[in-house]
Structure 1
């Protein structure tokens, strides 16, 4: 074999080997996981792993600005998780990691989630009428109008009952205004969903909640009755654990606590009146929204400065859970009202996200 042929064969071998090696490398890169698995804190110890803001290339100067803003806005606690790990955990105004605080209507999402668990266990179905579980006469509406109200109407705030009569949920205060499903109104009648779960499970609401949700993810906390309101009190970390469960599509490590299919319903538009509302979850990135005690439709996103895919649990006086899948973030805020007393959404949401964007972008 002459030298020309030998050179040609060597050249062919070189290019073939180079191509295969490059292809193998590319395949390895493609197959390599792009993100770390979500982290879950222990349910037997107090260990919760952290990640430093600088590891995420966050702006440390802007974090200090954010802390000042939070303190000035009557915040008691502020916590940020990235992929389950703690990035920020701050306490203000004599509040501590072991202090309980009320979630107000941010706790409605606990009721939604436990309703989903009860449906997963075939104890109820949200398309059933409420009177199947509570009996007739739980409202002052006529029987035919009362029987239009399903559990889904309670979850989506479309019961058609009068929202102007205060917080009481006795039949005298639950008066017919419109057919169920035709009117969205933020209403304390949601607590009747807790009665539905209690009757369907043949136990108390608190017992079912504690067994099926609280204890399984190691939350602390207790439900308290304030008039006709049912309010959950817990630590900030417990609030964050719940947010993490939602972020993980209802799963805690290897255990499915609530079905992903139910959560998918709960965290998407639940009716065609208020596109920014699921089952007690507020949804960002939708074309319009309604607010409590108003029938007016506002055009635009709920919180323009926040990511479009963000889910919100919003409670009176600025109790907040933000779940942002695209950013792998869970953000908790507890405290007094940032400015004026409010039912859920306030100017604080958009101002806070302006500060957060300075930190993370």
Structure 2
């Protein structure tokens, strides 16, 4: 086990939620204390475990567990400052890694920015931007699909036909809004943004988000894989994004994305899967659905995690956790801890047991 090279947490993202549970005075105090690392600099202030009165004896067991579970990097931020940052299994601070489906939240965020700028409305039909015939559904069924349906995974298109999102592979199975299914058709929101902004996806993303908060990328961040754009970055870039979301869409004094959109994105977006927002996973609900299954599971998504947590979850256990009540952002990159899954895995609950031992 490689010992912790410096004494700060890596990017497990815990975000200060904009939900109704949090009183205004608490939100203001968190905002006043929040730290943002400078853009175009590797400087990032730290905070010690001792200052937070966490259980320092539980740090090494957490890191040992992470390394044994094929982790490459891990960070914990508290009010924006690094408490824990560790790299393992031949990964380094400057190494790039893929976000997998955790990057869906980037698409959600960019969609919100484009709506804030008046370029699109997520309540519009997708066909208003892409034209008709972008699916194989009949015109009346295709025109039921709005941008919001893409963001909430309720397009009604068949999710069993693979990753290809060409029209012939986007086939009707149910009316939009009546069925929740984890589907790559969400990437059509990137096409919507491209049309609405009259810019390439990379250009709009870089200008409106990446460059404004100091993220890195490979080479422009997005790499095509199995008909889907996948984001690659270093771990600190993932943490920067988590911090932006924790800060309710602000970076220092600049509102990058509206708080109102983020509030919608990180709360239940439809009445089928209560644990899903706009491409964000939500803890604390009384039921949830999982990718590839048309079955409702009772209980919380991650029982060991705080109920106000929301998360970006990607294949092979790419994680961004945002926990407003604990003022945390947590990030994990690496290979699959156990069996490969598209999002949630048993690793989430096991990891939170270790995090709780450190932070409680």
TM score, norm. by length of structure 1: 0.90
C-alpha displacement at 1:34, in angstroms? 5.5
Q: State the distance in 1 between where 2:78 and 2:34 align.
A: 9
In the other structure, the counterpart of 1:74 is 70
Q: State the distance in 2 between where 1:48 and 1:188 align.
A: 35
5 Å-filtered alignment, 1:1-361, equals 37-221=33-217, 222-361=221-360
Q: What CA deviation, in whole Å up to 9, does each residue of 1:236-282 have, x standing for no partner?
A: 00000000000000000000000001001100000000000000000
Count matched residues: 331
Q: State the distance in 2 between where 1:145 and 1:210 align.
A: 34
Q: State the distance in 1 between where 2:186 and 2:93 align.
A: 30
C-alpha displacement at 1:61, in angstroms? 1.3
RMSD between superposed Cα atoms in Å: 1.2
Q: State the distance in 2 between where 1:44 and 1:216 align.
A: 10
Q: State the distance in 2 between where 1:195 and 1:275 align.
A: 27
In the other structure, the counterpart of 2:19 is none
Question: Secondary structure, in 3 states, of the residue corresponding to 2:150?
Answer: helix
Change (3 A) 1:44 1:142: same
Which one has the bigger helix percentage?
1
Q: What CA deviation, in whole Å up to 9, does each residue of 1:42-86 have, x standing for no partner?
A: 113221000011111111111110000000000000000000000
Q: State the distance in 2 between where 1:109 and 1:152 align.
A: 14
Change (3 A) 1:44 1:233: closer
In the other structure, the counterpart of 1:7 is none
C-alpha displacement at 1:227, in angstroms? 2.4
Question: Secondary structure, in 3 states, of the residue corresponding to 1:342?
Answer: coil
Q: State the distance in 1 between where 2:241 and 2:176 align.
A: 30
Question: Secondary structure, in 3 states, of the residue corresponding to 1:216?
Answer: helix
Q: State the distance in 2 between where 1:88 and 1:344 align.
A: 24
Q: State the distance in 1 between where 2:291 and 2:171 align.
A: 18
TM score, norm. by length of structure 2: 0.91
Question: Secondary structure, in 3 states, of the residue corresponding to 2:322?
Answer: strand
C-alpha displacement at 1:335, in angstroms? 0.1
Gaps (5+ residues) in structure 1? 1-29
Query: Per chain length, whose mean CA-contact separation is higher, i.e. which structure has more relative contact order (CA < 8 Å, sep 6+)?
Result: 2
Question: Secondary structure, in 3 states, of the residue corresponding to 2:241?
Answer: helix
Question: Secondary structure, in 3 states, of the residue corresponding to 2:33?
Answer: coil
Q: State the distance in 2 between where 1:356 and 1:93 align.
A: 20
Q: What CA deviation, in whole Å up to 9, does each residue of 1:69-126 have, x standing for no partner?
A: 0000000000000000000000001100100100000000000000000000000000
C-alpha displacement at 1:295, in angstroms? 0.6
Question: Secondary structure, in 3 states, of the residue corresponding to 1:44?
Answer: coil
Gaps (5+ residues) in structure 2? 1-24
Question: Secondary structure, in 3 states, of the residue corresponding to 2:230?
Answer: strand
36-45 or 200-209, which deviates more: 36-45
C-alpha displacement at 1:299, in angstroms? 0.6
Q: State the distance in 2 between where 1:304 and 1:101 align.
A: 28
Q: State the distance in 2 between where 1:269 and 1:34 align.
A: 26
